[in-house]
Homo-oligomer: A and B are copies of this chain.
Amino acid sequence: MLQVAMISTGEEVLHGDIVDTNAAWMSQLFYQHGFKLSNRSTVGDNIEALVAEIQHQTITASVVIVNGGLGPTSDDISGEAAAKVLNSPLVMSQYWLDRMQARYLELGKEMPHSNIKQAMLPEGAQLIDNPVGTACGFFIEVNKSIVIFTPGVPSEFKVMIEHQILPRMKQWHPMVEASECSRLFTFGLSESGIQDKLQQIRLPHGFEIGYRSSLPFIEVKLFGPANHDGRFPVLERMYHLLGDNVVSVDESMLPNVGALLSEFSLNLTVAEQATGGWLTSWLQEDEQIRTNMKQGWILSSQVDQQMAGQDPLAAALALAAATRERTQTAIGLSSGPMLQGKVAVALSTPYGEWGQLISLKRNYSYNEMRSIVSTLMLDMLRRCLEKKPMFGHYESLNRESEIYVPQSALQ
């Protein structure tokens, strides 16, 4: 099997000041295209350590991606390390120098002298274009392996990997089979609960099911060869087995709800107490929802005496209805205050009103609580728009009570 390794460089990555998102991103992308990583490592801004690591990785790996250390400052040492590995001098790339100077000219600035360093490549190295920065990439051959040097700035790294390096990898290794990943996003099921449900599925050869928990969702992934006839039937079966806990397919929940709102030309207003603006701020991220959202009210989650005596479920329902009426929107969505670990959420629509009083099964941080309750509120809206059962099964929540007011009962 083709062995691919990655070496990340930089003191900040090594000492944990920066979480290495480049590595996670590239590993996932490569995996999807059939290039499974076999090893990933991190070294600091130390030339001997980097040289040793490159030599070590090239013993087993056919392709080694080195990330970072191509900047203009003295602690950027990847070019020099490459030269040392090859036992070759650094030579000036006139082509890249011209490119950098042209870029600075466009910005109406003079190129700092320190940038010249970025045009110095080991003799014999092949340049890789960087259309969005001054750090060009390059690759060299060591011990029959290809070692590819890439810039650390995530935006530059991603463009180079996607447009320059991945196409070359496919050219070099045409037999590697691209894989494809389909995704179902679920809310309300646990990972073991999902596993139990999906156990009965017999997967075609080369397929596997993976899980990724990104609270409060669990993403269920179907990996397998691209363009395979067996994919769709499996996906359909998974969708069926997970039932109405599937909140969206191949995209997250938010754009799914946004598209439904636009399709039915419905606008909405939100009133939040326990969730303190979390839902509103989240909803605004989707452009279609933003267009259809009239207002968000964030009320103090402290409860005055008058309110303390009220039925929390009735209060949340009244809040959703009042919100809807006052702003003349089709939909009102509300969360009441958190009282003794319980919170009521409600949805008011022209088709009826729904409310539920829930408690959480575990201790969560404030932000986790907000994220879960906000998702529950959005899930009520999603279920209404998709005409699914309104009171879903949620493993992490206890439903204390629920209420449904049909359209006919509303004036």
Q: Mark A255-290, 1 if CB is under 8 A from B, else 0.
A: 000000000000000100000111011011100001
Contact indicator A295/B300 (Cβ below 8 Å): yes
For chain A, residues 288 to 347, give those with C-beta under 8 angstroms from any C-beta of chain B.
Answer: 290-291, 293-302
Question: What are the nearest 10 A-B pairs in CB distance?
Answer: A16-B27, A296-B298, A276-B284, A41-B41, A277-B281, A16-B24, A277-B280, A16-B28, A40-B42, A281-B281
Within 8 A of B (CB), among A15-29: 15-21, 23-28
Docked pose: A39 CA to B42 CA in angstroms: 6
- Contacting pair B44 A41 (CB below 8 A): no
Give the number of copies in the complex: 2
Find the B residue at minimum CB distance from A301: B290
Separation of A314 and B128 alpha carbons in the complex (Å): 51
Contact A40 B56 (CB under 8 A): no
Rounded to whole Å, the gap between the CB of A23 and the closest CB of chain B is 7
Contact of A43 with B39 in the complex, beta carbons under 8 Å = yes
Residues from chain B with Cβ under 8 Å of A210 in the complex:
12, 17
Does any Cβ of B come within 8 Å of A209's Cβ?
Answer: no
Across the interface, name the chain B residue whose C-beta is closest to A5.
Answer: B41
Tell me whether B44 and A42 are in contact (CB under 8 A): no
Cβ contact of A41, chosen from B42, B301, B366, B370, cutoff 8 A = B42
Q: Is A194 an interface residue (CB 8 A)?
A: no
**A37 lies within 8 A of chain B by Cβ:** yes
Q: Does A251 count as interface, using CB distance less than 8 angstroms?
A: no
Q: Mark A102-122, 1 if CB is under 8 A from B, else 0.
A: 000000000000000000000
